[in-house]
C-alpha cells in the first residue's frame, strides 16, 4: 500500500490525465483532418516503395540530386501500369461482357437455372454483377470523360474533387521523393535528445529489416502473380489476368491469397451457367492451380529469395515454413 501511495501521487495523476487528454485531442484532430491527411499518408507509402527505383535511376544517370531520378521513377512505374492496362483491359472488358450476358440470359429465362443456384444468382447480382463492374471500369476511360463535356463539370463535382485529390497525392510523392534523405534525417528530431541515439538505432534496424523483407516478399509475390496468371489463362478461367494479379498482390500478406478462392468460385459459378463447362470441372482446375503454384512459391522460390534478402540460409527458411505448416 505504501508503495502504491508513493507511486500514485498528485503529480503523476495529473500527468496521466493531461497525457490522456492530449492523446484524445490528437485522435480527434486526425479524425477531423482524415480527408486531408489521407493523400499525404498514401504518398508517403508510394514514395517508400519507389525509393529503390529512384536510387537505381541515380546510379544509371549519375545524378547528384534527386529531381530527375524521382520524376523518371514515377514515369517508369506509371508507364508499366499503363501498358498492362492497355494490353489486358480489352480482354477484361470482353470477359465481363460475356459473364454479364450469361446472367441476363438466366434472368430472362433463356437459360435454365437449377434451384441450388438461385440464391447464388441473387448474391452475385447484389455484390458481383459483371455489368456494373464493366460500367465502373468504363468510367475510367479518358475518352468517355472527355465526351461528357460540360455535364461532367456541372453534375460530377465529386469526380473533380477526386481527381484533385489524386493530383495532390502525386505532388506529395514528387516532393517526398526529392527530399527523402532530408526527411529521413529530420525524422530523428522527433525523439527527445536523451533517447535519440537509441531510438534512431532501433528505427534504422527496423527500417533495414522492413526494406529487405518487403523487397524479398515483393519479388516472391511477383513470381506468384506470373504463375497464377499463366495457370488461370491455361485452364481458360474468365478474368484470368485480374485474378492472377489479385492473388499476387494479396501474396504480400501471408495466407491472404486464399481469399481469392471466393471470387474465383463466383466466376466459375457464373461461367458454368452458360453450359460451356461445369462448375465442378472449372473450379477443380482452379484449385489445382493453387495446389501446383503455391508449393512452388513456398518451398522453392521463397527460401531462395527470402533467404538471400534476410541473410539466412534457404534451408533455415524452409525449416521455418515447415514448422508453420
Q: What is the DSSP string of 200-241?
A: HHHHHHHHHHHHHHHHHHHHHHHHHHHHHHHHHHHHT-TTHH
Q: What is the pLDDT of residue 209?
A: 72
Per-residue confidence band for 149, with pLDDT thresholds at 50, 70 and 90: very low
pLDDT in tens, 272-315: 877 777 788 889 999 999 999 988 888 888 877 776 666 655 55
More confident site: 157 or 304: 304
What's 300's DSSP letter?
Answer: I
Q: Which helix (H) or strand (E) covers residue 91, if one does? A: helix 67-107
Mean pLDDT of 111-122: 58
- Sequence-distant (≥ 6) Cβ neighbours of residue 116 within 8 angstroms: none
Give the integer Cα–Cα distance in Å for 84 and 282. Answer: 26
* Residue found under cell 444468382: 121
The pTM score is: 0.65
Of the ranges 15-24, 158-167, 181-190, 279-288, which is most confident?
279-288
Q: List the one residue out of 223, 241, 233 whose CA is nearest residue 298.
A: 223
More confident site: 82 or 10: 82
* Residue found under cell 468504363: 138
- Sequence-distant (≥ 6) Cβ neighbours of residue 117 within 8 angstroms: 269, 273
pLDDT in tens, 9-19: 777 778 788 88
DSSP 165-190: HHHHHHHHHHHHHHTHHHHHHHHGGG
Q: Judge whether 158 and 165 are in contact, CB under 8 Å.
A: no
Does position 118 have pLDDT exceeding 80, yes or no?
no
Mean pLDDT of 210-215: 75
Q: Judge whether 19 and 35 are in contact, CB under 8 Å.
A: no
Q: What is the pLDDT of residue 16?
A: 80
* Residue found under cell 534478402: 309
Give ∠ CA 236-283-244 in degrees, rounded to 5: 55
Does position 30 have pLDDT exceeding 90, yes or no?
no
* Residue found under cell 509475390: 221
82-to-40, 42, 79, 244, 323 alpha-carbon distances in Å: 23, 20, 5, 18, 41
Amino acid at each position: 500500500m505504501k508503495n502504491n501511495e508513493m507511486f500514485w501521487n498528485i503529480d503523476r495523476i495529473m500527468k496521466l490525465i493531461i497525457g490522456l487528454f492530449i492523446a484524445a485531442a490528437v485522435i480527434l484532430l486526425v479524425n477531423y483532418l482524415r480527408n486531408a491527411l489521407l493523400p499525404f499518408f498514401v504518398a508517403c507509402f508510394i514514395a517508400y516503395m519507389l525509393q529503390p527505383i529512384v536510387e537505381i535511376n541515380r546510379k544509371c544517370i549519375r545524378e547528384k540530386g534527386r529531381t530527375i531520378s524521382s520524376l523518371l521513377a514515377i514515369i517508369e512505374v506509371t508507364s508499366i501500369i499503363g501498358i498492362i492496362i492497355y494490353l489486358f483491359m480489352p480482354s477484361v472488358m470482353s470477359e465481363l461482357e460475356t459473364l454479364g450476358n450469361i446472367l441476363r440470359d438466366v434472368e430472362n429465362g433463356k437459360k435454365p437455372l437449377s434451384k441450388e443456384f438461385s440464391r447464388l444468382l441473387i448474391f452475385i447480382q447484389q455484390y458481383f454483377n459483371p455489368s456494373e463492374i464493366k460500367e465502373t471500369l468504363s468510367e475510367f476511360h479518358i475518352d468517355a470523360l472527355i465526351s461528357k463535356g460540360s455535364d461532367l463539370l456541372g453534375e460530377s463535382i465529386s469526380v473533380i474533387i477526386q481527381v484533385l485529390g489524386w493530383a495532390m497525392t502525386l505532388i506529395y510523392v514528387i516532393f517526398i521523393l526529392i527530399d527523402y534523405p532530408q526527411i529521413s534525417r529530420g525524422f530523428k528530431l522527433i525523439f527527445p535528445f536523451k533517447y535519440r541515439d537509441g531510438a534512431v538505432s532501433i528505427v534504422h534496424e527496423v527500417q533495414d529489416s522492413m526494406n529487405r523483407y518487403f523487397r524479398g516478399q515483393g519479388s516472391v509475390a511477383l513470381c506468384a502473380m506470373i504463375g497464377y496468371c499463366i495457370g488461370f489463362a491455361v485452364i481458360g478461367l474468365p478474368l484470368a489476368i485480374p485474378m492472377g494479379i489479385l492473388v499476387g498482390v494479396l501474396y504480400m500478406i501471408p495466407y491472404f491469397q486464399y481469399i481469392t478462392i471466393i471470387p474465383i468460385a463466383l466466376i466459375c459459378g457464373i461461367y458454368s451457367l452458360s453450359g460451356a463447362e461445369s462448375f465442378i470441372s472449372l473450379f477443380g482446375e482452379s484449385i489445382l492451380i493453387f495446389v501446383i503454384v503455391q508449393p512452388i512459391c513456398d518451398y522453392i522460390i521463397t527460401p531462395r529469395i527470402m533467404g538471400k534478402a534476410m541473410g539466412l540460409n534457404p534451408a533455415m527458411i524452409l525449416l521455418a515454413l515447415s514448422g508453420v505448416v
